[in-house]
Amino acid sequence: MQTITIRHDWQPEEVSALFALPLNELLFQAQTVHRQCFDPNEVQVSTLLSIKTGGCPEDCKYCPQSAHFETPVKASKLIDVEKVLADAAKAKEAGATRFCMGAAWRSPKQRDMGDIKDMIKGVEALGMESCMTLGMLTREQADELKGAGLDYYNHNLDTSEAYYKEIITTRTYQERLDTLDNVRAAGIKVCCGGIVGMGEGATDRVELLRTLANLPEHPESVPINMLVQVEGTPLNGTENFDALDFVRMIAVARILMPASYVRLSAGREQMDDSTQALCFFAGANSIFYGEQLLTTPNPSENADRALLAKLGMRLEGETPTTSKNAA
């Protein structure tokens, strides 16, 4: 692999200029950067499980798990460790290398930390990477999760700091940044991205990616979500986000954060094969596997296998001769 410069000093006008490039030029630049850090035909696969659903005290306007809104999602308790590990084993068998567990909490309570740590240890024993998203963390909680062996912690910024108050009022942007600092200080890898299609402007998308790229260390994983509209949430009925603008988002993320995995996350169910193919060409190299992302739909594993086979791509860790894609 060629050496590539990792920057943390991107200026607004530089990022805006990337978004403004003709699409072919932007894709060329993104693919060139991508090939310097990754195999362009490999895709890392994670599986996401909701370990505690609904009843969240936060008021994120996109989220059907918020207790502030009347949505089809009903609150449930933390599920049993054994059930989580059984699902993790199935995910591994299907080709996932990372198992992500999400709880609809503002922050974890100490009474739940024992089960959380057992889940982390169990996933590690299966030979998979572990990821948790549990809301805000103190430094002490981050240290505790690291002691259990946690590999990744997900905590998205969601949008720009300027637009953030239009989406969430129950926690501040700085509190999100503080959690990222606590995770980093504990030695856990960071998974952090955002959501597009929430009514934000082009400047907000510039600032979201610029904030991520200008963190002291780039997130190792950058999930880019397209809003999935859910009945009962305030953002239901928002104008659909343009597919090519989403491709631009992926490409700019790749250029700004060359060595990070850029993940196609929520919203893939709404994308046709051509849009996903363009996203892969733009530098996306990670997906969530499985028909459910916490509470929203996702393409089936068979559909993903078929798409990757059509594109001549494979799961990370497979080789062209061992890949199941040809099956």
pLDDT tens digits, one per residue of 168-197: 999 999 999 999 999 999 999 999 999 999
Express each pLDDT in 230-253 by its tens digit: 888 988 889 999 999 999 999 999
Q: What pLDDT, on a 0 to 100 scale, did the predictor assign at position 80?
A: 94
The residue ranking higher by pLDDT, 270 or 22, is 22
Q: Residue 321 above 60 pLDDT? A: no
Burial of 161 (0-12, 13-18, 19+ CB in 10 A): middle
Q: Residue 322 above 80 pLDDT? A: no
Q: Considering 37, 191, 192, 279, which one is annotated as catalytic? A: 191
User: Is 191 known to be catalytic?
Assistant: yes
Residue 110's pLDDT band (boundaries 50, 70, 90)? Answer: very high
CA distance 10 to 28: 20
Tokens of 129: 């990477």
- Rounded average pLDDT over 100-106: 91
Q: Considering 171, 263, 268, 305, which one is annotated as catalytic? A: 263
Q: Considering 37, 63, 192, 279, which one is annotated as catalytic? A: 63
Tokens of 271: 């994308």
The whole model's pTM is what?
A: 0.90
The residue ranking higher by pLDDT, 207 or 47, is 207
Residue 290's pLDDT band (boundaries 50, 70, 90)? Answer: low
Q: Considering 37, 98, 100, 279, which one is annotated as catalytic? A: 100
Reduce the secondary structure of 205-256 to three states and give it as a string: HHHHHHHHHCCCCCCCEEEEEECCCCCCCCCCCCCCCCHHHHHHHHHHHHHH
Q: What pLDDT, on a 0 to 100 scale, did the predictor assign at position 300?
A: 67
User: Is 56 known to be catalytic?
Assistant: yes
Report the chain's C-alpha Rg in angstroms: 19
The closest alpha carbon to 156, from 115, 203, 111, 209, belongs to 209
- Rounded average pLDDT over 52-76: 84
Task: Name the average pLDDT for the chain.
Answer: 90
Do the beta carbons of residue 211 and residue 176 sit within 8 Å? no
Q: Considering 37, 98, 131, 210, which one is annotated as catalytic? A: 131
User: Is 37 known to be catalytic?
Assistant: no
Q: Residue 297 above 80 pLDDT? A: no
- Rounded average pLDDT over 159-167: 96
